Structure 1
Amino acid sequence: MSTETSTESGTALVPAKFSRLTRRGILLGLSASQLVTLGIAGVSLVGSFYGGGGALFLLTSPIWILGAAMTWIPISGRPAVEWVPIAGWWVWRASMGQLIYRRRIVMPRPAGTLALPGDAARLREYSDPETGAGMIHDPTAATLTVMIELSHPAFVLLDPVEQNRRVESWGRVLATICRSGRISQLQVLERTLPDSGQGLAEWWSAHGSDDGSWAATTYAELIDRAGPAGERHATTLSLSLDMKHAARQIRTAGGGLRGAANILRQDMSTLASALRAADLSFTDWLSTGQIAVILRSAYDPAIAATLERHGEIGQDLATAGPVAVTERWGHLRTDSAFHAVLWISEWPRAMVHPGFLSPVLLSTGIQRAFSLICTPLRTDQAARDIRKKKVEYISDRTQRARIGQIEDAGHSAEFQDVLQQEADLTAGHGVVRYTGLISVSAETLDDLDRDLAALEQAAIQASCETRRLVGQQARAFTAAALPLCRRV
């Protein structure tokens, strides 16, 4: 791929490159779980030889054969031993009846809690008295999250000069959250929604001339029919405060949720200034009622258009969750739709231009939510992590050379990525870890499979690799489709 694209004005699109997903292990490319199973197999094999061989060797053969198979035989691109925790956790949840959720209508939840299934049920709502923003508190993870809705022009329609400027401005936004040192996550959620036609109706009401003529009547009927048949895109930005790292500032600000809200309000102001500098338009921070509408629309897509047309309903977080959820190994069933989550397991390995995700984000006829979770690392933490990676790579390379194993080109490329991260950190840039999740929703399982296949092909066009998450679809859905800065 060419590293730059010239334009008539002599400017060029600046390409970027993502770091590879590390494949290294603790020893000779083997992970800790692989070393454990290989060690058990080796001990049983050596013990059978020294214990008399013969019958003992045959008696222990299931142990060392199974251990070797689980160490090296891959299943869906991962060693078999790495599926043990996922399958074990799934079996335990199935035996405990945690794969099925039904809302208890006659037993309302405690005041201030969210009516969400699974571990998201521990979330609490808090309304900031000064800004009116709705904040979501996770007492277990010790985070406080706030959300804002963004509006922006179509990036792919801008000229290269403007695209470069906006990319650089967005980089400054990410650098802002990295310098804070107390931000846990930043989540960008871009989702498609069935258009209720409310926007067209409001435009016609404000600018149209309803004089009773044939043209006006025909145009009004066209708006009524075309609006609900279309779809629109909505983008939210979520900011999560790490209350553990900000404990001292929170105590100074008064302690508790009020003190945490005071500290988060400072980061909200800083982020708002950075967004204005990046020419990203936004309204006020989302209230608890607006958050409730987003949650309800994610679990019950069929009601999304109705909630948009009638802004006075669905504004209660206590009732915003689903009525019923059934989790399967590879998909999730909620009130009015089936859902499945794809994980972007590999970002582009070659140089790509800023709009490389256009095939995924501009796909039509598919109801999906794309979530980009940015985890900023503090400068000292990033420096320690880079030094640790360098030591591991150098040690692994020395061990491979000692036993005569040929160096893999993939390991060399990963080591170069580490060196580039160190250079960027030294130059004053922040280090951010990206996690990409795509949640797909459909009315039937057949439609879901069709839409998943279409999005997987769109991801291939974007030079990305995707994997369908299994055994954890419920947690993955809350991270991919809800603007709550959740982890998988």
Structure 2
Amino acid sequence: MAAMAGERSERTYRLEPLDDSGIFLGLGLTQCALIGGGLTVGVAALTAGVVLPVAAVPVLVAALVSFTRLGGHPTWEWVPLLAGWSWARWRRGRQWVAPLPLWPTGDAAAPMPPCLAGLDIVGIDWRAGSTLGAIRDRHRHTLTAVVPVSGPQFVVAPRPEQERLLAGWGDLLGQYAVERGVVTHLSWSDLAQPSGLGDHLAWIDSAGRGTPNPVAVDSYRQLLELGATSAINHQVVVSITVARDRLARHHSRTNRGDEPLQRALITAVEALLRGLQSADLAAGDPHDPPGLQRLIRTRIDPLDARPRPRHGRLVDRLAHLRSSTAGPMAVEGDWRHLRVDGAYHRTWWVGTWPRMAVPPSWLEPFLSGGGVTRSMTVYFRPVSTFQSRRRIERDLVKLESDAATKQDKGRRVDARHRRATQALLDREEELVAGYPEMGYVGLVCVSARTLEELDEHAEIVEQLAREAGMDLRLLDARQDLAWAASLPLGLAPATLLAL
């Protein structure tokens, strides 16, 4: 008994299911609008003296669109999808090409495509002699800073150490879930690229290392060729975004410039660095403006991102870029992919997270497998205690009312409905215990040099996601906006900001 009492139970993690209960009897807003519109038109037609078979056509069409599936989507989803696609093609066009100046323009900001419109890079005086780079969104009135981050070997750490590291990351996020906080969202973004072990192969072929042993060289080369398919290089950054509309009112009245927002960003970055250190994560200095320019160029064409040379000219080792050339040169959008400069991109959002409880390192096979170039970005939106309590009460009332309506009409309350209710009750208990709520959304972007390669790599990533318990949903007709949101530039999806 003493031995059993001394055993430690391993902690698992359960992710909250996506709320798809709808607004009435499981029907979404678009479905209710379609059915209501069909009934209205049908009744109006009958009132006007139209024969019943003809008057019933709008009702039948509305029911058909609301309850059938077409091309892997519910048919009703095609209505806003096609409308948005047509509007985007009319407003933004299918292709965009950066204007080329006839003479040097100095240090002007890079022209941006419509999906990145309003973004530029600014420098903020930070610590003594250093500059904090920030991505300014002139449309949303936000500033975003980006911090490169690395950590211990999480996968090989003991289970208690993994749980401790995750608890530290949770504490870091929880400090921003406060009333009237200036931080609107945070994100982490991991760019994974096959490394190819090129440095090791170059070392084998280099001179000046004595007389090599041919047998040992051949054996080492075979080992490198075998490991090249699984060697992955990760570049992880954490971004933090502050918004002007969250500043104190007296700042908004007295100063409409960016100075109060810049001070708020500096304060948020300092708190982020302290939190990362407390979570045992190694954080570098936030990117300065040239660092942000290099980051943008790397994400625009990750297939062309090569390690900096260790020898040669200083300008080559620093990978110097001008601000006027940091953005994309050409963008071409399609229904299922986006071409930016010389790379094709395809972006999904994580529609379903694992339904079962998972261990701390459950995401590692997805992040490190496949041998393809891809990025994963997860946005977190801190939710204050007051907002979280109101949302829980609202959703519980909706689910209970929906269940009562189904029972009155003789319909059963299914397991999905019961699980959603239980998830809200669990969330309420966690909130009372002092654990703040955090809205989150994940985006996955695969990059390739050709369309054939993109399709092949997309199948690999989708299979890896299924093995990890995730359901990736392709963002058809919105690939330009999806790709922009997958960049660590603070462009959180609108669905997250609407929480």
Shift of 1:328: 0.3
Is 1:184 aligned with 2:184?
A: yes
Whichever residue aligns with residue 116 of structure 2, its letter is A
| Matched residue, 1:115 | 111
1:283-327 per-residue CA deviation (whole Å, 9 max, x = no partner) reads 111111111112112222343106676343343333111111111
* 1:17 maps onto 2:9 in alignment: no
Partner of 2:123: 127
Task: Choose which of 442, 459, 469 in structure 2 pairs with 1:463.
Answer: 469
Change (3 A) 1:353 1:43: same
Candidates 30, 33, 57, aligned match of 2:30: 33
In the alignment, what sits opposite 1:164? 163
What is the TM-score with the length of structure 1 in the denominator?
Answer: 0.88
Determine if contact 1:314/1:320 at 8 Å carries over to the other structure.
no
Alignment check: 8 A CA contact 2:42 2:57 kept: no
Q: Report the Cα offset of residue 197 of structure 1.
A: 7.0
Give the secondary-structure state (helix, strand or coil) at the position aligned to 2:21: coil
Quick one: structure 1 residues 341 and 59, their matched pair in 2 at CA, closer, same or farther if it must change by over 3 Å? same
Of stretches 103-112 and 320-329 in structure 1, the one that deviates more from structure 2 is: 103-112
Provide TM-score, normalisation by structure 2: 0.86
Deviation at 1:90, TM superposition (A): 1.0
**1:66 match: secondary structure:** helix
Structure 1 residues not aligned, in runs of 5+? 1-5
Q: 317-326 vs 9-18, which deviates more? A: 9-18
Mapping for residues 395-414 of structure 1, pairs under 5 Å: 395-414=401-420
Q: 1:177 & 1:104 partners in 2: Cα distance?
A: 41
Give unpaired runs (5+ residues) of structure 2: 311-315, 495-499
CA contact (8 A) 1:288 1:316 kept: no
Aligned pairs for 1:42-441 (under 5 A) are 42-52=39-49, 56-75=51-70, 78-96=73-91, 98-106=93-101, 113-131=109-127, 132-179=131-178, 181-193=181-193, 195=195, 212-215=209-212, 231-248=232-249, 250=251, 256-305=257-306, 310-441=316-447
Matched pairs, number = 473
Identity in percent: 26
Conservation of the 8 A alpha-carbon contact between 2:135 and 2:489: no
Counterpart CA distance in 2 for 1:261 and 1:334 is 31
Contact residue 193 and residue 233 of structure 2 kept, 8 A: yes
AA in 1 matched with 2:387: Q
With 19-28 and 75-84 compared, the bigger mean Cα shift is at 75-84
Q: CA deviation at 1:95?
A: 3.4
State the alpha-carbon separation in 1 of the partners of residues 485 and 444 from structure 2: 10
Aligned-pair distance for 1:165?
0.9
Q: Which 10-residue stretch deviates more, 307-316 or 457-466?
A: 307-316
Distance 1:76 1:276, change over 3 A: farther
Could you tell me which amino acid in structure 2 is paired with residue 475 of structure 1?
A: L
- Does structure 1 retain, via aligned residues, the 8 Å contact 2:194–2:372? no
> Measured at CA, do residues 249 and 113 of structure 1 come closer, stay the same or move farther in structure 2, by a change above 3 Å?
farther
Q: Structure 1 stretch 123-132 or stretch 307-316: which is displaced more?
A: 307-316
Shift of the alpha carbon at 1:14? 0.8
Shift of the 271–112 alpha-carbon distance from structure 1 to 2, 3 Å rule, reads farther
Query: What secondary structure sits across from 2:441 in the alignment?
Result: strand
- The 3-state SS of whatever aligns with 1:126 is strand
Shift of 1:374: 0.7
Instruction: Tell me, in whole angstroms, the C-alpha distance in 2 between the residues paired with 1:98 and 1:90.
Output: 10
> Relative to structure 2, which stretch is displaced further, 404-413 or 305-314?
305-314
Offset at residue 80 of structure 1 (A): 2.0
Tell me how far apart the structure 2 counterparts of residues 325 and 250 of structure 1 sit (CA, whole Å): 39
* CA displacement at 1:437 relative to structure 2: 0.7
Cα distance 1:210–1:179, how it changes in 2: closer, same or farther (>3 A)? farther
Instruction: Return the letter of the residue paired with 2:58.
Output: I
Provide, for residues 82-105 of structure 1, a one-character-per-residue CA deviation record: whole Å limited to 9, x for no partner. Answer: 321221121122234522110111
For residue 385 of structure 1, give the secondary structure of its aligned residue in structure 2: helix
Q: CA RMSD in A?
A: 3.2
